[in-house]
Structure 1
């Protein structure tokens, strides 16, 4: 099996001699969860999943980010689930970062290796198992789908990011781009899960300030990220969680590419009041 280019959580615990001071921070506008704190002691076990542990790195919180949850799943050989999703109104995205997952989706069988991506619409009947001899790690992002009268539900699909071209931003000399698995104008979709790539020395050269909530998991490389009024260093395996309107910008530090998996909510009217 080839080595995966993507970061995964660290097994076990730090030594008793390690300093506990680190980079983890939770503010009113953003959170940073460094790779080094995603240890076995903070995992959860989910109903109807066997030989599986999950790092819950984002969940809806009132007054913070409210639209999505983000798990990192580790399924041991022979593990998996016949009943993975308990909410019939939930949609999901799976992105495999290590190992090989056997996915059945509406009766069709798929093998997802590193870079494999699956979109699961609400009501999709799916199962996932690890039939290989090594653990499989994948991201599972979930959102309550927002129905719109007159717009069809999106359909299930699988892809691999290695077969999906990067769309470079205009005027950047192919230094900052996005791997898009869904067309931005496809209004059936109310969330996007993309991969953003910055070449060494590239930047997001302005403070984005927008209504979309974000979850950013660093797949490769390192960078300095602007979050609200702070500059923070991030590296492969770190997670950034941003509420709506949190200003953000970035410088990629090199020596290699800086890449992250990005969630955002899109394409829907804002809810007015509590209804």
Structure 2
């Protein structure tokens, strides 16, 4: 049993049936948070639900595809009826390119399916969940992002493109949400051992994986509000010292750092003002 630091609050976790989503849900439940578990497969969601309720929390499992707005809206409406207002949204559901191939060799349907899950999915959840947070004047959103958002990768063009777009979406929302007391963060766990990464050839020889417990603890800290000073920023758990980032939070905001920005080639670059 955890410290129950989130007692009485409610969270919604997507992709909660397995992998990172399941572990995050269990970590939040251990801290007393009531949970809505969203995913496409009822069987795995039910297993996660049973594990969560052992922590003495209220929990509901909802089968829905995050890429479908109607299914998401129905699920969020159900969560509000069963658990009340949503204090924390964790956008974790995601897919990756099926094969390491250049874009012109990619399966077109699967490429768009990755983008729809990784970008349209979070948009659908944000569109349904944010009105309640804004109305209450409080709430926190954690988007599970990736280092792929920051660097080009010709092998995983759908995944990298969708994660970069997700980071830009958070950036576009940050200042709009600030006066409403809603925090949004993009957190990259680094390379962690999951079913998804196990099937990525680039990680075939990986020995030293990132820590899933550290990711879970970070999401719990975000739910508590400890990471609010880093609102609108990208955090990479595989590399970052979060304590150092928190100490420098004011400087990070002043310099508009930890966001996607154009890099000018010099002061004479006509687009330097957009950096």
Which protein is richer in strand relative to its size? 1
TM-score, scaled to structure 2:
0.27
Structure with the larger RCO, 1 or 2 (CA within 8 Å, 6+ apart): 1
TM-score, scaled to structure 1:
0.27
Which protein is richer in helix relative to its size? 2
